[in-house]
Structure 1
Amino acid sequence: MTTRMAHDSGRTTARHQERASGWLTFAGTLAMVIGAFNVIDGLVGLFNDDYYLVGDNKIMVFDFTAWGWFWLVLGVVQLAVGAGIIAGRMWARAVGVLFAVLAAIGHLAFLRAFPLWSVLTIGMCILLIYALTAPPSRARG
């Protein structure tokens, strides 16, 4: 008969003290959805200028091609940030709030071109900001 001995020193690491948070998992998933929406916005802006219904093809100071690149880059970054949030990275939470605010302001400017999509995305950005700021600082996704 063999005896198994555990060689645990009894100390707990910081990783075991972190609590799992459903809010952060939700926030990471939501950031990835918003990022995917922004990638779609960017691709439409780049490849199909006639899709949006604005008379002079300008929103604020940019044309749809510039907005397309803006949404495409923002969406790709938000996809990466969403993966970072799910992985439990603190930097991703901070950057996620920053890019959610940037996306909400961008969609506010884009409201005239695509109102329903923009209102939906602004609402999701507000929910994302709450989901990222509500859990404790040591919580993990």
Structure 2
Amino acid sequence: MSSPQTGPESQAKAEGTTTPEQTTAPEQQKQWAMAPAQPAAAMSGWMAFAGSLIAMVGVFNIIGGITALFRPTYYLVGTAQLLVFDFNAWGWFWLGLGILQVAAGVGCLYGQMWARMTGIGLAALSAIAHLAFLAAFPLWSLLVIALSVLVIYGLMVPPRGATA
């Protein structure tokens, strides 16, 4: 009978009998305890690129919104020549869209799926809205449309190791 201090291993040694579990090396017995943890999924390079890019476009839209609200004479055309809305409405639109884009960009950098889907929708909305705002700021609008297309591509590229 084994005592709590000696245990079955020390009793088997004293009696000269060994079990198959005791004949293996201690390193092999404890191998299960030292198994490495499952590797964390690495973020896709495209996801990081698109997340930072949508956050940057969001900051640009915030600046454009503040400009439209406080200095509408900065733009090339007057309010009457805009396709839709006036500069006050566009200012609030760009400000709200920019804040949402920055939040989605930060979420993408943390690898959140909600941010990925939201970012695709916000980038598409931004591209369409800049198309409507094209008369007021043509080169800038074309640049933001191109950046929005890059964001959509970057967020749609599957992560590394994806099977579907």
Which interval holds the TM-score relative to the shorter structure? 0.7 to 0.9
Matched residue, 2:99 = 76
CA, structure 1 residues 46+138, in 2 after alignment: closer, same or farther (shift >3 Å)? farther
Correspondence for 2:52 among 21, 29, 37: 29
CA, structure 1 residues 123+6, in 2 after alignment: closer, same or farther (shift >3 Å)? same
Per-residue displacement from partner, 1:59-108 (whole Å, max 9, x unpaired)? 22300000000000000000000000000100100000000000000000
After TM superposition, the score normalised by the length of structure 1 is 0.84
After TM superposition, the score normalised by the length of structure 2 is 0.73
CA, structure 1 residues 65+6, in 2 after alignment: closer, same or farther (shift >3 Å)? farther
Q: Percent identity?
A: 50
Aligned 8 A contact 1:57 1:64 in 2: no
Aligned residue pairs: how many?
133
Determine the C-alpha separation between the residues in 2 that align with 1:64 and 1:84.
Answer: 30
Please tell me whether residue 108 in structure 1 is matched to residue 96 in structure 2. no
Structure 1 residue 49: Cα displacement: 1.0
Correspondence for 1:38 among 61, 66, 85: 61
Aligned-CA RMSD value: 2.3
Report the residue type matching 2:143 in the other structure.
Answer: L
Structure 1 residue 53: Cα displacement: 1.6
Aligned 8 A contact 1:58 1:64 in 2: no
Determine the C-alpha separation between the residues in 1 that align with 2:129 and 2:138.
Answer: 12
Determine the C-alpha separation between the residues in 2 that align with 1:57 and 1:43.
Answer: 20
Correspondence for 1:95 among 114, 118, 121: 118
Structure exhibiting the larger radius of gyration computed from Cα positions: 2
